[in-house]
Every structure is written in structure tokens, then in C-alpha cells.
Amino acid sequence: MAEPQSGVAHFATGDRTAMRMLSQQSETFGTEWAAAKVTIGLGEAGIGTDPIAAAFSGVYRSPAEFLKIATDEVPAICLAWAQVGNTSADQYVESDRAGEGAIRGGGN
């Protein structure tokens, strides 16, 4: 979609670029997080059961599990933000066109 030449909507292109980058980064994050979870799981499997390990597990496991669940959501949240950002840029351009047309057409 070409942007109007009014000079007002020139930010929409930058917004779309930023949203494309956010989408790409969310995909990269998702892939790298999946690999990191495997590494974390391997490390957690080696914690052990002796008294020191048990004490550590008691303070580690619950917050770690919460963090893993929350982090799993990051790619989808960022992708949703990017989609909203793109929609916003599109709506801005369309509104700018409509406003420019109304001004040129005398408000009709």
C-alpha cells in the first residue's frame, strides 16, 4: 500500500519496518528459547537429591517453572504486537488518505 504524499504519514513505513523486525525477532527468540529450554532441562536433571540439592530445588523449581511458562508466551505476544502495529499503520495511512480527500473535495 503506497503512502500518501502529504508528508504526514511518512512514519507508517518506519512503523511497518519496526513491526517486521519485531516479528522476525519473535521467531528467532522462540527458536533460541526452545534450544535453551533443552539445555536448562539437562542442567536441572543433574541437580541431584542430596541435602544441598534439595534445599536449592526448594527455592529454584517454582520460580523457574513460572519463568519458563511466561517466557514460552513471549514470541506469541511479540507477534501479536507486531500485527497490531501493522494494523495501526494501515489505519493511519487510510485515515490520512480519507482526510486529504475530504479536504481536497471540500469535505464531501
Q: Phi and psi for 15 in degrees, rounded to 5?
A: -60, -45
pLDDT of residue 7: 53
pLDDT of residue 74: 97
pLDDT of residue 56: 96
Per-block mean pLDDT, blocks of 10 residues, the chain (108 long): 52 86 96 97 95 96 97 96 90 83 73
The secondary element (H helix, E strand) that includes residue 68 is helix 51-72
pLDDT of residue 107: 59
pLDDT of residue 22: 95
**Whether this model's pTM surpasses 0.85:** no
pLDDT of residue 9: 47
pLDDT of residue 73: 97
Kindly list the domain boundaries of the chain, sorted by start residue. Answer: 48-93
pLDDT of residue 97: 83
Rounded Cα–Cα distance for residues 96 and 108 (Å): 15
